[in-house]
Each structure stands twice: as C-alpha cells, then as structure tokens.
Amino acid sequence: MRAFSKREAREFYRRLAETRPIPQTELEFVDPFTLLVAVVLSAQATDAGVNKATPALFALADTPEKMLALGEERIVELIRTIGLFRTKAKNLVALSRMLVERHGGEVPRDRAALEALPGVGRKTANVVLNVAFGEPTIAVDTHIFRVANRTGIAPGKTPLAVETGLEAITPAEYKRYAHHWLILHGRYVCQARKPDCPNCVVADLCRYGAKTGPAELIAARAGSGEPEALSEPAAKSVRPRARSPR
C-alpha cells in the first residue's frame, strides 16, 4: 500500500473538514465530569445507548460527590441498559472517590492522572483531553482504527500504532478535530460491512482496493484521479545550450 504524502493527508482532512466544519462528539454532557462518565459508559456501547441512560443518571449525580452518595447499586439500576453495567457502576464509584480525594472533585487536565482513574484508558483520556480541554489528541476507537487502516492514511496493527501514525501524518491545523472527523466518517460513510464509497469525499485518495459502487460514480463524486493540487509538477526538459561559434 502506497503511503500518504503530506499533501494528500492535508487534502484528506480538508475535505472531511468541509463536510463538518466544527464536528462534535455525539455523547451528551454538560461539563468535564459528565463527559468523563459518558465516555467511560461508552466502552463497548453505542453513543445513542449511553445518551438514553445518562439524563436520569446526571439528574441525580452530576458531580463526583453526588455519584458517591448515589452508590453503586443505584447506579446499576440507572445504567442497566448499557453493556457491562455492573463493572461500569463500580468504576464510576471508584473514580468519583479518587477525584474527590486526590483532585478536589475536579477532572484533571493531565493524561497520567486521567489514566490512573478506574475504568479510564488511553482512549478515554484522549477524548476527555480533546473535548473538555481542547487538547489536540487523537482517540483511536474502532471507527478510527478501521478508517486509518482501510484508507491507508495511518495503517497499524494496534490502536497505539494507528494513533502514532495519525499524530505524524495529520497537519497541525487539523489535529484539534481530527478524531471527530475520522469517527464520524467511519460511523456514517466508511462503515464496517459496506463502506459508502460512491458518497465518500476522499474516495480517490483512499487506498482501499474493494470499493463499493460503480467506479465512474465514485470518480464523479470524489474527483477522478489525483487532484491537480496534489500532483507532482512535471519535470522540465532541459535542452542543451547551443554553442556559440568561435
């Protein structure tokens, strides 16, 4: 698979940005703590499923102190519709206790401190740092892992390898929203079972060899061939100078 050039990567993100100028997470939250809770609950669950459960939870416990007071069993009742609800309820109590005891009830703006919280891994920490604090982090979930490998923009065998690749290839001006564009593209266009290649704005840049839909439709939608702005300038032919007669 031919690697993306820096110009191709910039064009890739430019087109995704054009479709969603200011993308946002689809999880519903009101502050860093409720965001942290929502992201912890979203592990192996859909954002839509989490959003159905969190309004009732947040109505009773929108701070670490209130979450502790609510207790594990009551939390279980409120999030029962979400996968792994018992483990997640236990983690919510434990992380809330740690936030109160070590961070004054505030969500820390620090990767190591976030990853030390129960139920919080690198992906969750990256989401919180990006969405709550505006850090240019890239959280690699299943959608981003698929898009990065399928398109070829940052192939890797592990989420960390993909994250490292995306960090290296993503232009600085696009890093703030990069993971949102990639997630939404994977969720609604570059889907797992059947990617919607005819309606993909980066289809002509994508390295995927089994594109769906008629080739001519894909070319018409995304632009046939390599965009002129990305093509290498043609080498100029140099004619030998004629020697002046002596």
**Catalytic center residues:** 123, 141
Q: DSSP states of the chain as a string?
A: -PPPPHHHHHHHHHHHHHH-SS---SS--SSHHHHHHHHHHTTTS-HHHHHHHHHHHHHH-SSHHHHHHH-HHHHHHHSTTSTTHHHHHHHHHHHHHHHHHHHTTS--S-HHHHHTSTT--HHHHHHHHHHHH--------HHHHHHHHHHSSS--SSHHHHHHHHHHHS-GGGTTTHHHHHHHHHHHTS-SSS--GGG-TTTTT---SS--S-HHHHHHHH-SSS-GGGSPPPPPP-PPPPPPP-
